[in-house]
Amino acid sequence: MVEFWFYQLQRRTLEQALPALIERSLQRGWRAVVQSRTPERLAAIDDLLWTYAEDSFLPHGSQNDGDPELQAVWLTCGDDNPNGARIRFLVEGAAAEPFAGSDYERLILLFDGRDEMSLATAREQWRLLRLSNANLSYWQETEEGGWRKQA
């Protein structure tokens, strides 16, 4: 059964938190999908994964690159999973509910807890998933920059 983990950003931005979470997923041997709602955000994530660190990058691709089965990380605005990912990151309020019956190990919903609209969207997604008896966890960013499970 897929696990839905809600990550509330309090101190860092998405751009600061996402690469580290993807790195951890790849270290587990999981392929990943990152889904946003808009092509503009997806393009920004594409750039980010190439440049987030001076000495490193995260290999990834999207529809523009082709060969999805060769990509460790796939970027999309749709619900596709052409690289056989075990984990999916949902950003920019991308809907989680369509994946309730999926074969993912984990879905990570990242949202900005300082933004009322993002917070409201996350709360609504939590409510809808709870109604379907989904396996839910809520993680809040700590003062030290780590994550603490709250629910």
Q: Which pLDDT value is given to residue 118?
A: 96
Residues in the chain: 151
Q: Quote the domain boundaries for residue 104.
A: 3-149
Say whether pLDDT at 134 is over 90: yes
Q: What separation in angstroms does the CA of 40 have from each of 31, 117, 125?
A: 23, 19, 23
Q: What separation in angstroms does the CA of 93 have from each of 8, 71, 119, 143?
A: 12, 24, 9, 24
| Domain CATH for 86 | 3.40.50.10110
Q: How many domains does the chain have?
A: 1
Tens of pLDDT, residue by residue over 1-44, are 899 999 999 999 999 999 999 999 999 999 999 999 999 999 99
Over range 102-125, report the average pLDDT.
Answer: 96
How would residue 115 be classed by pLDDT, with cut points 50, 70 and 90?
A: very high
